Amino acid sequence: MTALTTGFDDTDDLAPDEPVTTKEGWRRFVEHQPVLPVLPPVDELAALPARARAELVQARRDYHSDLPLAHTPTMKTLLTTGRLLIQLNRGQISARRGMILSGASGTGKSTALTQLGRIHERSVRKRHPGQTGKQRIPVVYVTVPTDATPKILAVEFARFYGIEFGSRATMPDIVNTVCAVAARTHLELVLLDEIHNILDTRARAEVSDQLKYFAERLPATFAYAGIEVEERGLFAGPRGRQIAGRFTLINSAPFDYGTHEQRVAWRSLIATLEQSLRLHQHQPGALVALADYLYERSGGAIGSLSQLIRGAAVLAIDEETEQITPDLLDLIPLDHAATSTRPTRRRKASKPGGR
């Protein structure tokens, strides 16, 4: 009995519910192109049959639940650094350089990391149009589980590729198969999310070593993302110093609101998100005018800002008011991190130049 089989069957179909940490789910994510919903004038809309109207409403509901992304400064830095490192690492036999995106929860780390992967994979596919998703898998996206061990980490890589293994499969079996499949499918970029989980595990040193081993054996650029890993000691000790020497640290922080430039940057972010709205009664600039309020509620975290705007847009459609108002925004619940630090943010938001 073979202990391992690689998950490459003959069909190229994508199952609908595969998570993004599998090659099928990842490909679905890479290929997904958001469609801008149509917004016909109100009189034209009224003339449509009820069913067509309902379909348009549903399309706009779906669209606003998942608005197009804004190019934040963090995302721009990650994309530029990523592109450069992938290029510089090509042909390097060892000592390849990587990146670590570190910062508070809800600041857009996973979003930026997956965008880097998506953009890279789309450009690779453009350069190799004849190759199917089975012949070329240039990007792997894996999340580090809580309480990871070296074997669990290896299994996560195997799971991405759909490699199945029996209970007798040893750790070297799994690692060797992962590396063989990665080489055969031209891996170039490894995205490892939730890297802070390595710091919390009892097997921290062993997991770090396993990761280092993967980084040596896989001829790819490694990009990590995790919550405040610098503060939590990822770069401490001999292992940490080695990581620090090889990885570029990119900070993913909430937006600030102290200086004039910072407030301009915040308003410009809101303006970008506002431009993507497709609501009948929305007046351009109405959301930017609520910049102070939106900062107070979100504390400058893009995750909370996005939740507020997307939530209010969906409510505006459901309630047929078709515009975002402070009353609607008040109804949108935020995560604990945003609400628990709200008093500090209120003080910051009412600095001179504020509302």
Ligand X SMILES: Nc1ncnc2c1ncn2[C@@H]1O[C@H](COP(=O)(O)OP(=O)(O)OP(=O)(O)O)[C@@H](O)[C@H]1O
Residue 155's alpha-carbon distances to 4, 37, 60, 169, 190, in angstroms, are: 12, 40, 39, 11, 15
Residue 306 as a binder of ligand X (CB under 6 A): the answer is: yes
Report the half-sphere exposure of 70 (CA within 13 A, side-chain side).
23
Q: How far is the CB of 61 from Mg ion (least distance, A)?
A: 25
Region of 102-110, 127-135, 146-154, 182-190 interacting with ligand X (CB under 6 A): 102-110
Which residue, 221, 219, 252, 247, is CA-closest to 234?
247
Nearer to Mg ion, 106 or 219 (CB): 106
Residue 303 as a binder of ligand X (CB under 6 A): the answer is: yes
177/4 Cα distance (integer angstroms): 8
355, with CB counted inside 10 A (0-12, 13-18, 19+), is: exposed
Give which of Mg ion, ligand X, none residue 107 binds (C-beta under 5 to 8 Å, depending on kind).
ligand X
214/140 Cα distance (integer angstroms): 12
Report the half-sphere exposure of 157 (CA within 13 A, side-chain side).
27
Range 101-130, binding Mg ion (CB under 5 A): 109-110
Dihedral sign, CA of 152, 154, 160, 163?
A: negative
Nearer to ligand X, 206 or 228 (CB): 228
Q: How far is the CB of 108 from ligand X (least distance, A)?
A: 3
Range 62-81, binding ligand X (CB under 6 A): 69-70, 72, 75
- Pair of tokens at residue 161: 């590729």
Nearer to ligand X, 68 or 284 (CB): 68
Residue 201 as a binder of ligand X (CB under 6 A): the answer is: no
Q: How far is the CB of 315 from ligand X (least distance, A)?
A: 17
- Pair of tokens at residue 274: 């506002």
Radius of gyration for the alpha carbons in the chain, expressed in angstroms and rounded? 23
Give which of ligand X, Mg ion, none residue 102 binds (C-beta under 5 to 8 Å, depending on kind).
none
338/355 Cα distance (integer angstroms): 20
Give which of Mg ion, ligand X, none residue 349 binds (C-beta under 5 to 8 Å, depending on kind).
none
Which residue, 223, 279, 287, 213, is CA-closest to 250?
223
Nearer to ligand X, 70 or 163 (CB): 70
Give which of Mg ion, ligand X, none residue 311 binds (C-beta under 5 to 8 Å, depending on kind).
none
Range 212-231, binding ligand X (CB under 6 A): 227
Q: How far is the CB of 217 from Mg ion (least distance, A)?
A: 26
Q: Which amino acid is at 148?
A: A
- Applying CB under 6 A, what is the total number of residues that bind ligand X? 16
Residue 178's alpha-carbon distances to 140, 175, 188, 209, 253, in angstroms, are: 11, 5, 14, 17, 34
Residue 105 as a binder of ligand X (CB under 6 A): the answer is: yes
Nearer to ligand X, 73 or 166 (CB): 73
Q: How far is the CB of 125 from Mg ion (least distance, A)?
A: 25
Range 106-165, binding ligand X (CB under 6 A): 106-111
Residues engaged in binding ligand X (CB under 6 A): 69-70, 72, 75, 105-111, 227, 252, 302-303, 306
Residues engaged in binding Mg ion (CB under 5 A): 109-110
